[in-house]
Amino acid sequence: MAVVFDKRQHANTEKKILNAALVGNPNCGKTTLFNALTGLHQKVANYPGVTVERKSGKLIDTAGTVYRLMDLPGLYSLTSRSLDEKIAADIILGKSEHEPALDVIIVAADATNLGRGLYLCSQVIETGLPTILVLNMMDVAHKEGIKIDIDLLVETLNIPVIPAVAKNDIGIAELRDALVQLAKKEIKPGRPLIPIHETTANDVLTPLARSINENNSESDKPQEQLAIQARYAAIDKIVNLIISYPASTKSSLNDKIDRFLTHRFLGPVIMFVVLSAIFQTVYSWSELPMIWIENMITGLGELVRQNMAVGMLRDLLVDGVIAGVGAVLVFLPQIMLLFLFVSVLEDSGYLSRVAFILDRAMARIGLSGQSVIPLLSSFACAIPGIMAARTIHNTRDRLITILVAPFMSCSARLPVYTLMIGAFIPPIWFGGIFYLPAFTLLCLYMLGVVISIFSAMILGKFVVKGQISNFIMELPPYRIPVWRFIFLRVYEAGRTFVKNAGKIILSITVILWFLATYPRDEKHPNSHRIDQSYAGQIGHFIEPVIKPLGFDWKIGVGLVTSFAAREVMVSTLGTLYNIQDADGTSIGLRQAMQQDINPETGKPVFTPLTAISLMVFFVLACQCVSTLAIIRRETNTWRWPVALFFYMLILAYSGSFIVFQLGTLLGFT
């Protein structure tokens, strides 16, 4: 249904555009509805605050009317105040600078929690805009035996009410029909529930608008308190009339599960078991597919080498492109598995329990449970994590969360960790349950967490000023994940990873190949020494700085390139080693690294100690241009990203320095 729409064409043919927005309480299924209507794939998950930015899509009806539909962050009332909620409220009230005034508002409400949905819906009706109410999650309401008298609700509010199960596409066609009717001007504004001023809708809006414009501290004015009470009373009355609950209110399955999973002592234990099980699984399930991909890539390299004429182009393809990009693509299975587990955690509702369990611990470091989900999301990638910090009401907490999120080991670090662990950490079991490679990986992730805690405390004490917040957590009901959506997200993560490998990594690899191949002694091309190439010269130039960390010039080159994106470290090593060992036999990158001997010392370039030192550097350094850019955008100043970059660089250097020097002193190699 979505079409490409040309603005000029619109002007000529006078086709109509209607601006519509989807609003509703957090986690009631707005984005699921939005995706079903527009055919897009915005992120859906089972916790409040998934959508933090407005997203828009288009649909078009048979008469040619275009509906521009916006998916907004969830909110409880139009007077809400965290950044994501304010974005939504401003757009609804037509106060947004960037958005056109709305023609229609679709309010989504969770049918199992209708009172809360109606609170917002009644405010929306008072804006005087035509409103459509969608009662989502009717499947759950039905299962719980909740009965809703929809006709009576329509009569009371005087707006169309559409029962729906968005995740199964039920009610979507009816919603489209309602939009079409609206385009024909058959839908009028609804009936305000509370006649504060019994005049026009605009007057009714005034107390509402005033309370939005004023500060929190003033909102306890008697007049506004009265308005809020009147609204609650009116809604209570409606809810009592239209909803009938089942007779017995026995404790639900949900509560029973929560008694275990959020138990004071059992909860943290279960959480630890779940998270470490995920680690071991990501590690072990990916092993086989990684070998397949690696074989395919070396096979492809060989094929090209044998079938192309000797020359520059062949070398560029084999040693540059295939070796470099291939070295990164090997990690695709791990990335996809990681996203699979993260998505399941999110959509089942367990992630919110983790936030709940950690709330107390977070209070001890001066943050609240609200920071947990942004920080946990950062394990996939810091960028959505930093965006998710918009849901944090307290500005101080939000800033601290943004600044420590980059310490969480993101999926771009995983290839570097895995490469080093696979080559230099022996695959042994110990203590009966721990697999040393997976355990090492866990330690790296923990290091990031520990440093972020430490940094949050320092920031909270000395740098970022403000009040510590109180936070009331809402636990969403457990749900069986919708597999269709989970697979879509995993696919999406895989696609982005491959696309990045295609774009950034490919271009860096090509440049690097030139730098590592030239200048070349054309009379004796076979005696090419990579360390005399431009890349070699650059590497040797920085070698003195990184020698105390145990790194040679090749890692040095990788460190430079990886400041564009971390995975580039792997492709860089892939290219450098392929050029160095270009004697016709293709060996895997791991093997090449294991066999590499430093010509000056006669000792191996890589030892387990250098590998650990390098991984520690990657845990701590901020090697990601996009993260810095997003911090700039979210904090509105360059001060924070610049300070963070140097802070992390100093930490990374000191961390690696300590590891390598202490390790050498203690006799580890």
Ligand X SMILES: Nc1nc2c(ncn2[C@@H]2O[C@H](COP(=O)(O)OP(=O)(O)OP(=O)(O)O)[C@@H](O)[C@H]2O)c(=O)[nH]1
- Which residues contact ligand X (rule: CB under 6 A)? 24, 26-32, 44-46, 48-51, 73-74, 136-137, 139-140, 165-167, 347, 479, 482
Q: What is the 3-state secondary structure (H, E, C) of 570-606?
A: HHHHHHHHHHHCCCCCCCCHHHHHHHCECCCCCCECC
Residue 555 structure tokens: 């890692």
Q: Is 50 in the site for Mg ion (CB under 5 A)?
A: yes
Q: Are 386 and 634 in contact (CB under 8 A)?
A: yes
Give the shortest CB-142-to-ligand X separation in angstroms. 10
Give the shortest CB-351-to-Mg ion separation in angstroms. 15
Question: With respect to ligand X, which residue has the nearer C-beta, 393 or 528?
Answer: 393
Number of H helices, E strands in the chain: 29, 10
Residue nearest to ligand X (CB): 74
Give the shortest CB-541-to-Mg ion separation in angstroms. 49
Q: Which one-letter amino acid corresponds to residue 303? A: L
Question: With respect to Mg ion, which residue has the nearer C-beta, 30 or 398?
Answer: 30
Q: Angle of helix 639-665 relative to helix 608-620, nearest 10 degrees?
A: 160
Torsion over CA: 272, 277, 278, 279 (sign): positive
Give the shortest CB-33-to-ligand X separation in angstroms. 7
Question: With respect to ligand X, which residue has the nearer C-beta, 51 or 79?
Answer: 51
Question: With respect to ligand X, which residue has the nearer C-beta, 32 or 571?
Answer: 32
DSSP-assigned letters across all residues of 64-104: --EEEEEE----SSTT--SHHHHHHHHHHTT--SSSPPPSE
Q: Angle of helix 534-546 relative to helix 553-561, nearest 10 degrees?
A: 100
Q: Closest Cα partner for 600 from 540, 659, 558?
A: 540
Give the shortest CB-308-to-Mg ion separation in angstroms. 50
Question: With respect to ligand X, which residue has the nearer C-beta, 49 or 366?
Answer: 49
Give the shortest CB-96-to-Mg ion separation in angstroms. 18
Q: Is 134 in the site for Mg ion (CB under 5 A)?
A: no
Helix (H) or strand (E) holding 225, with range, is helix 222-242
Residues 17-36 that bind Mg ion (CB under 5 A): 30-31
Which stretches does DSSP call E strand in 91-212? 104-110, 131-136, 147-148, 161-163
Q: Are 41 and 19 in contact (CB under 8 A)?
A: no
Give the shortest CB-478-to-ligand X separation in angstroms. 10
Binding-site partner at residue 140 among ligand X, Mg ion, none, CB < 5 to 8 Å by type = ligand X
Binding-site partner at residue 509 among ligand X, Mg ion, none, CB < 5 to 8 Å by type = none
Binding-site partner at residue 588 among Mg ion, ligand X, none, CB < 5 to 8 Å by type = none
Distance in angstroms (rounded) separating the CA atoms of residues 551 and 465: 39
Question: With respect to ligand X, which residue has the nearer C-beta, 161 or 648?
Answer: 161
Binding-site partner at residue 174 among ligand X, Mg ion, none, CB < 5 to 8 Å by type = none
Give the shortest CB-58-to-Mg ion separation in angstroms. 18
Question: With respect to Mg ion, which residue has the nearer C-beta, 30 or 396?
Answer: 30
Give the shortest CB-168-to-ligand X separation in angstroms. 7
Binding-site partner at residue 400 among Mg ion, ligand X, none, CB < 5 to 8 Å by type = none
Binding-site partner at residue 69 among Mg ion, ligand X, none, CB < 5 to 8 Å by type = none
Q: Which one-letter amino acid corresponds to residue 20? A: A
Q: Closest Cα partner for 180 from 16, 333, 323?
A: 16
Give the shortest CB-143-to-ligand X separation in angstroms. 9
Distance in angstroms (rounded) separating the CA atoms of residues 110 and 496: 32
Binding-site partner at residue 45 among Mg ion, ligand X, none, CB < 5 to 8 Å by type = ligand X
Distance in angstroms (rounded) separating the CA atoms of residues 334 and 327: 13
* Residue span 232-271 as binding mask against Mg ion, x where in contact by CB under 5 A, dash where not: ----------------------------------------
Q: Supply angle C-alpha 334, 337, 338, rounded to 5.
A: 85
Q: Which of 35, 38, 51, 586 binds Mg ion (CB under 5 A)?
A: 51
Segment interacting with Mg ion (CB under 5 A) among 47-55, 103-111, 291-299, 625-633: 47-55
Residue 651 structure tokens: 């930490």
Give the shortest CB-71-to-Mg ion separation in angstroms. 6
Q: Closest Cα partner for 21 from 106, 78, 90, 85?
A: 106
Question: With respect to Mg ion, which residue has the nearer C-beta, 50 or 381?
Answer: 50
Distance in angstroms (rounded) separating the CA atoms of residues 387 and 73: 12
Give the shortest CB-37-to-ligand X separation in angstroms. 12
Question: With respect to ligand X, which residue has the nearer C-beta, 152 or 344?
Answer: 344
Give the shortest CB-50-to-Mg ion separation in angstroms. 5
Scanning 262-388, the segments in alpha helix (DSSP H) are: 266-307, 312-315, 323-329, 332-348, 350-364, 372-377, 382-388
Helix (H) or strand (E) holding 56, with range, is strand 55-60
Q: Angle of helix 414-424 relative to helix 436-458, nearest 10 degrees?
A: 140
Q: Are 22 and 108 in contact (CB under 8 A)?
A: yes
Binding-site partner at residue 165 among Mg ion, ligand X, none, CB < 5 to 8 Å by type = ligand X
Q: Are 92 and 23 in contact (CB under 8 A)?
A: yes
Question: With respect to ligand X, which residue has the nearer C-beta, 111 or 582?
Answer: 111
Which stretches does DSSP call E strand in 233-329? 243-244
Question: With respect to ligand X, which residue has the nearer C-beta, 347 or 567?
Answer: 347
Question: With respect to ligand X, which residue has the nearer C-beta, 489 or 566?
Answer: 489
Q: Is 434 exposed, middle or buried (0-12, 13-18, 19+ CB in 10 A)?
A: middle
Question: With respect to Mg ion, which residue has the nearer C-beta, 85 or 319?
Answer: 85
- Beta bridge partners of residue 66, listed in sequence order: 17, 60
Q: What is the DSSP letter of 322?
A: I
Contacts with Mg ion by CB under 5 A lie at 30-31, 50-51
